[in-house]
């Protein structure tokens, strides 16, 4: 996976973050996922690779950039999941934990898919049956 593609991971994950329980709020989930993803990116890529991909100079700046681009401060129960999907706060917490646990080989894999490698991310917004 290219380093730029990894940014798209957060887009897919945070688009589903709202709060249906009291474990992780939508904003907390979005911020946590940004933090986890930036930590993995900065641990797995060299400074030269990060610079070539136009990443900020620091992990903290990456977090700020992702949180802003994903609108984490505006994430609410009403706007995070689409359609009939409902937020699962425990899956949101697991998603961040699973992102944190990803290996560099997973992050750097050209076919990286956060919903496969961190399966809880695919369950954050789910249609209740």
Tell me how many degrees the CA angle 33-118-99 measures, rounded to the nearest 5. 35
Closest by CA position to 126, among listed 4, 3, 5, 18: 18
What's the confidence (pLDDT) of residue 45?
95
pLDDT at 3: 52
pLDDT values of the chain reduced to their tens digit, one per residue, 129 residues: 455 445 544 444 444 443 344 478 889 999 999 999 999 999 999 999 999 999 999 999 999 999 999 999 998 877 878 888 888 888 988 999 999 999 999 999 989 888 899 999 999 888 876
């Amino acid at each position: 996976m290219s380093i730029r593609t990894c940014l798209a991971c957060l887009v897919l994950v945070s688009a589903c973050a709202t709060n249906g329980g009291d474990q992780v709020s939508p904003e907390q989930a979005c911020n946590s996922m940004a933090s986890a993803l930036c930590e993995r990116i900065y641990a797995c890529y060299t400074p030269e690779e990060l610079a070539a991909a136009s990443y900020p100079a620091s992990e903290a700046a990456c977090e700020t950039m992702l949180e802003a681009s994903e609108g984490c401060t505006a994430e609410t129960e009403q706007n995070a999941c689409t359609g009939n999907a409902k937020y699962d706060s425990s899956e949101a917490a697991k998603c961040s934990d699973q992102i944190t646990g990803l290996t560099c080989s997973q992050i750097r894999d050209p076919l990286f898919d956060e919903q496969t490698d961190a399966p809880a991310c695919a369950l954050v917004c789910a249609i209740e049956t």
